[in-house]
Amino acid sequence: MMNGGQRIATSTGVMLADPAELGNSLKETQALFDPKFWAARGELAPVSGGRGAAWFIGGADNPWVLRHYRRGGWVARVSKDGYVWAGEARVRAFAEWRMLAHLSRLGLPVPTPIAAWYRRYGLTYRCDLITRRIADTQTLSAMLAAAALPDSSWQSIGVVIKRLHRAGADHADLNAHNILLDTHGAVSVIDFDRGRLRAAGAWPAQNLRRLHRSLLKISGPWPADRFLPSAWEAFLRGYRTL
C-alpha cells in the first residue's frame, strides 16, 4: 500500500489505485485509462478547457474523470506528454493521487482519487489519473461569464481556499478554471497537478495573487460587474474567517 493506495503492476506499466473505489473495474487495469475502452461502452464525453486531454467516463455507478497529463509551454514543442523519469515517487499522476487522497481523508472538497497509472519508455514516462466526478458543477470562470456572483458565493470560495491552505495544500495553478461551484453554491477545487503539501510560509499569499490575476484576466472582456473590487473583498472576508 502507498498512502492508502494499492500498487498494481500491469503488462505495460504500474497503477496506483483504491480497490474500494474501483470495485469490479479493478480487473480492467490499464484499459481504464484508454479513452477507446470507454467510447466502446458509450461512456466517454470530452471535458472542455485546459491544455490536458480530459474526459468524463463511466456510468451512473462510476461517474469519473480521466485525465491524460500533457506538457505546457515551450517544452510541449519537444514532447506533448512525455516526462523525464526521476523515479516512481516523482511520477506526477502518483503525486497528485497521494495529495488528493490526503486531502479527501481530511474531508476537504477535492476530487476523490480513483486510480493513477504510468507507462515508462526508457528515460521518459507518460501518465494518467482517474478521479471521481463532482456532480452538477460549473467552473467559476464559466459562471462569471454568464453573470455576476453574490458576495455570499465569493465568501464561500474564500473559506474553502483557506481550509485548503490550513491543511498545507499549495495549489500550483489556482485559477478561476480550477474552482467549481454546484447548484447549491458548494465550492470544490480541482487539478492539483504539481501541487504540494507544505508547512506554513509565503506560498498561500502567492496562491491568492495567482487567483486574483486569473480573475482580472478572464473578466477583462466582460461587463464590469462580473469582477468588481467588492467581490475580491468578499472573498478575503471569507478567507479570513478561519
- What letter represents residue 226's amino acid? R
Cell numbers linked to 123: 528515460
Give catalytic status of residue 170 as yes or no: no
Residue in 18, 136, 151, 173 annotated catalytic: 173
Look at residue 210 and give its three-state secondary structure. Answer: helix
No. of helices (H) and no. of strands (E), the chain: 7, 13
Look at residue 119 and give its three-state secondary structure. Answer: strand
Q: Are 38 and 27 in contact (CB under 8 A)?
A: no
Nearest CA to 92 out of 105, 108, 81, 103 is that of 81
CB neighbourhood size of 198 (10 A):
12
Q: Over 25-78, what HEC string results? A: HHHHHHHHHCHHHHHHCCCEEECCCCCCEEEEECCCCCCEEEEECCCCHHHHHC
Q: Which long-range contacts (CB under 8 A, 24 or more apart) does 18-24 make?
A: 18/101, 18/113, 18/114, 18/115, 21/112, 21/113, 21/114, 21/115, 21/132, 22/114, 22/115, 23/62
**Looking at the annotation, which residues are catalytic?**
173
